[in-house]
Structures are given as structure tokens and as C-alpha cells.
Structure 1
Amino acid sequence: MIKSVDTDLDELLKAWEDTYKKGQLTLWIFLALKEEPKYVDEIKTFVVEKSQGSMSCEEQSLYRVLRKFEHVEIVGHELRKGNKGPDRKYYFLTELGIELFSRFVRRNINLFFHEDIKTILA
């Protein structure tokens, strides 16, 4: 009986996490670029390392999202020499992107630092 409950709970948790993670990619990209300009592989590595492996992303997904962000001018890129081969696109947050991220954090992330919420999460 316990094993069945654990299995059901694990399945529910996985479904919730899958839904949750779909909406988190933007946040993780912004976190990566807030730190410093990065090329796609560095963004991907940042996401995996800083999320302690709970998040991952495919390069094609990153390129797709970054193109959308560039189109609305919240992300830009500059070409820099790579270690070998062609120049790399290093992505960065524009002033508009920095302001958007700042407002998002104030409205949606800082809530988790309020004492009453921290107590519930503990």
C-alpha cells in the first residue's frame, strides 16, 4: 500500500515539476544573463549547475527563446572570438531586459523572502 502511494506521489510530483519547469526557462535565462554575457552553451551549463540539475534545456530551445527575446529587444548579442572556429554570439540583457527582470523579481520572486512565506516553506 505504501509503495503504491509513493509511486502515485512520485508521478504527481513529476507532472507538477514538468509543468513548473516549462515556465521557468525564461527566469533561468535571465538569471544567467544578469550575471554576465554568455553564449548558448554557457547559458545551458549555468541553468543545469545553478538549478542543481533540476532544470535542463536543449540548445535549440535556447536559440528559439533568445531569438524571440531579441525581437522584442530585451536581449541583444555581440560576436566574440571563440576558442576555436567561428565567432560566438554572446547574449546579454539590454536595458529594457534588465528593467523587465527587475520588475519581475520585485513582483514575483521577492514574495518568497517574506517571513510568513519562509515559515510555510520551511
Structure 2
Amino acid sequence: MKFDKKLNDLLSAWEETYKKGQLTLWIFLALQQGEKYVDEIKNFVEEKSLQTMTCEEQSLYRVLRKYEHIEVVKHNLKQGNKGPDRKYYSLTDLGQKLFTQFVKRNIHLFYSDEIKKLIKF
């Protein structure tokens, strides 16, 4: 019982650290599918991660502003269903190239036979 609690505590701590670093990947995955407003990005991240990733709208706005500042994301204003115009976010050319290079260097290696053998269940 004590072992199970320690395992769960360690796993939770590792996952929290992992998730903080993964938000950028999930946002870029969402935007690679086409432009989206914040609520659509949030829903994409939560749905595609099978609810293992969650994000608050304010956190997404903060991160997206940072990405705009470094010119990897841009937004266009479009009419919303009601009320003010919505910001629809998309990747810039630089953002798309950054995402592609990141995936090539950090994700594709998990598809190699050697790594697949190491990650066995």
C-alpha cells in the first residue's frame, strides 16, 4: 500500500512537469490543423490528449501572446457568433518550420525500432 502511494505520488509529480513542457507541442498541433480561436485550441488539446492535458483560457492567451511576440504565431480578427470579434490564431511560416524541426528532432526518434524496443510494456 505504501509502495502504491509513493508510486502514484512520483508519477503525478513527473506528469505535472511533463505536462508543463508539452503545452507548446499541443498548441502547435492544434494550430497545424488550421486557424483556431482560444476555445477551439483548449478543446483540441483536451480532446486529443484524452483529457490528460487541460489548460485555462487565460493561460492560453498569455502563451499565445508570447508566441506572437516571437513571431511564431499570428492572429486574425473575425466576427464571432455574438459580441466582439474573435482572435483566430495560426502558425506563421517560422512557427511551422519550428514545429517541423522540433518534431523531427524530438518526436520521430520514438518511432525508431531501437527506441520502440526500449519502451516495452
Q: Same fold (TM over 0.5)?
A: yes
Question: 1:8 — aligned with what?
Answer: 6
Question: 2:21 — aligned with what?
Answer: 23
**Structure 1: any 5+ residue segments left out of the alignment?**
none
Q: Deviations over 1:5-60 (max 9, x none)?
A: 11110000000000111101111110000011000000000000000010011111
Question: 1:76 — aligned with what?
Answer: 74
Question: 1:61 — aligned with what?
Answer: 59
In structure 2, how many angstroms separate the alpha carbons of the residues matched to 1:94 and 1:63? 17
In structure 2, how many angstroms separate the alpha carbons of the residues matched to 1:76 and 1:89? 9
TM-score calculated relative to the size of structure 1: 0.96
In structure 2, how many angstroms separate the alpha carbons of the residues matched to 1:91 and 1:118? 35
Q: Residue 24 of structure 1 aligns to a residue in which SS?
A: helix
Name the Cα RMSD after superposition.
Answer: 0.7
Overall identity of the aligned pairs, in %:
65
Q: Deviations over 1:86-110 (max 9, x none)?
A: 1100000000000000000000010
TM-score calculated relative to the size of structure 2: 0.96
Following TM superposition, where does structure 1 have runs of at least 4 consecutive aligned residues deviating by more than 2 angstroms? none
* Counterpart residue type for residue 95 of structure 1: D
Equivalences, count: 120
C-alpha displacement at 1:120, in angstroms? 1.9
**Structure 2: any 5+ residue segments left out of the alignment?**
none
* Counterpart residue type for residue 86 of structure 1: P
Question: 2:35 — aligned with what?
Answer: 37
1:48 has 2:46 as partner? yes
In structure 2, how many angstroms separate the alpha carbons of the residues matched to 1:89 and 1:119? 44
